[in-house]
Amino acid sequence: MFSTQKKYLKFGSVLFLFFSIYMLGYNVPKNNFSQEVAFFSIGCFGLWMFMKYDFPNSFLIGLLLRLILIVSVPILSDEYIRFLWDGYLTGDAINPFHFKPIELSSLADHSEIANILYSNLENKNNLTKSPPLNQWIFYFSSLTQSKTGGIILLRIILIGFEIGTYFVLKKILTRYKIDIKKLSLYWLNPLVIIELTGNLYTEGVFMFFLLIALLNLSQMQDLKGGVLLSLAFCTKIMAIIFVPLLLLKGGKYRWKKLLIGFLPISILAFLPFLIGSNTSELWHNIIAPVNKNTFNSISFDFINTMEIHLFKTEKNHLIEYILFIILAIITTLISWQFRHRNRKVIFTGLTLISSVCILFSPDVYPSLIIIPLTLSLFSNLSYPLIWSGLVFLSYSWFDQNLPIELKKTIIIIEYLLIFTIVLINRKKTFRV
């Protein structure tokens, strides 16, 4: 009797996951916050049941959850339009770092796909934020010369990297004798599936290169690790914040090999795109909030308020630079704290560093939380998992039926809950 009931509960958990992913991928509009939260909660409940009752073939289930989204058009994000636009420019021998879309409006008159992409672009006055490796992925995706074809091809590429991430995670968990069941917290997490496969964000590519770099560094393959770390950097510049800890961890001789692997690849990858570009504008586009429109950011919302009160304007960037300096100091202190700890505990340091960086970002998109979530699988930290469930509250910002004050309150509640979990689990931070 009990065995049969358990079997039905296992099956139910999978049904909850599939139902949640399907609805969020195909049927829930971006501006309907209540439906988004409801179906996402169903997915989270399904994940909880799955972890509680243990279900075989988790890899196959996670793969199928991604494949059901293969032909879906992203509903919760329109960033994929910019990705395909950048890819189209690269294929047309136009450097996406040189021109804003508004400066290339004439392209829409000469190409059907360019017209479709341009007409659906948001923020036409902003330069691209995507580093070089992403640009090449976007280029291959755009070869279909079709919006639908580009979405499907890009999704297949991203799923391929996610499969790679799955097996790297499995290898690291096995290496450090950590319960392999924790892998499902990434592989079957509704946030991971919706944001990476559904919304086509490239954090999965970043995590693949970062994790395999960390694996090689743990095996004393510093030169190879440095090369792989540079590929992570060429996918997302956030990788640079991990370098101080990895250099300190490497010791007197190993850090040289890491830099020899990291620096040349990074320079060669960025240089062709940056030559002739307005680097100052690119910097502000990446570091500072674009047009002062932040998303799900406590720190930058506070900064914008301070600028208005102190300088009577939103044009002053002084406080933003101060915040950047504070971030650098905090990440350095964390790196120094973890420099002599073993390779397993270093993941705790990396999780904390990535979390601080995200908190100091102008735009805290849900996809960013996947980074500390993945790194936390090798630690005792629980707040990234909770954060991966709560960050969906940020989508309230797109619901035009909700008053602005309510939206701000929801965001504050999100962070208060996260900070509460951090305080509760603070003693676990340095525990092996």
pLDDT digits (tens, 9 = 90+) for 304-343: 666 666 655 555 566 667 777 888 888 888 888 887 766 6
pLDDT digits (tens, 9 = 90+) for 178-230: 989 999 999 999 999 999 999 999 999 999 999 999 999 888 898 999 999 99
Of the residues 148, 177, 201, the one at which a domain ends: 201
pTM of the model: 0.92
Tokens representing 385 are 């998992």
The neighbouring-strand residues paired with 295 are: 363
Let me know whether 298 and 388 are in one domain: yes
**Does residue 82 form part of some domain?**
yes
Q: Is the model's pLDDT at 41 over the cut of 60?
A: yes
Q: Is 78 helix (H, G, I), strand (E, B) or coil?
A: coil
Neighbours of 372 (CB within 10 A): 24
Mean pLDDT of 47-53: 87
Let me know whether 246 and 374 are in one domain: no
Q: Is the model's pLDDT at 63 over the cut of 90?
A: yes
Average pLDDT, the chain: 86
Task: Pick the range with the lowest mean pLDDT from 15-19, 137-141, 325-329, 427-431.
Answer: 427-431
The pLDDT value given to residue 319: 64
**Does residue 174 form part of some domain?**
yes
Tokens representing 176 are 């450090």
| Domain hosting residue 245, numbered range | 203-277
The pLDDT value given to residue 65: 97
Q: Is the model's pLDDT at 155 over the cut of 80?
A: yes
Let me know whether 162 and 129 are in one domain: yes
Residue with tokens 């021109």: 99
- CA–CA separation, 242 vs 312, rounded Å? 36
Let me know whether 173 and 211 are in one domain: no
pLDDT digits (tens, 9 = 90+) for 91-150: 888 888 888 899 998 888 778 898 999 999 988 888 888 899 999 999 999 999 999 999
Q: To 10 degrees, what angle do helices 112-120 and 79-91 make? A: 150
**Does residue 219 form part of some domain?**
yes
Let me know whether 236 and 218 are in one domain: yes
The pLDDT value given to residue 289: 46
For residues 266, 270, 271 and 272, what is the CA-based torsion angle, rounded to 10 degrees?
130
Let me know whether 214 and 92 are in one domain: no
**Number of structural domains the chain divides into:** 3
Of the residues 277, 307, 327, the one at which a domain ends: 277
Q: Name 257's Cβ contacts closer than 8 Å, sequence gap at least 6.
A: 222, 223, 226, 250
- CA–CA separation, 381 vs 427, rounded Å? 10
- CA–CA separation, 304 vs 291, rounded Å? 11
pLDDT digits (tens, 9 = 90+) for 383-422: 999 999 999 999 998 888 899 889 889 988 999 999 888 8
**Does residue 36 form part of some domain?**
no
Let me know whether 268 and 327 are in one domain: no
Of the residues 174, 201, 228, the one at which a domain ends: 201
Let me know whether 272 and 294 are in one domain: no
* CA dist 60 → 57, 65, 184, 355 (Å): 5, 9, 11, 30
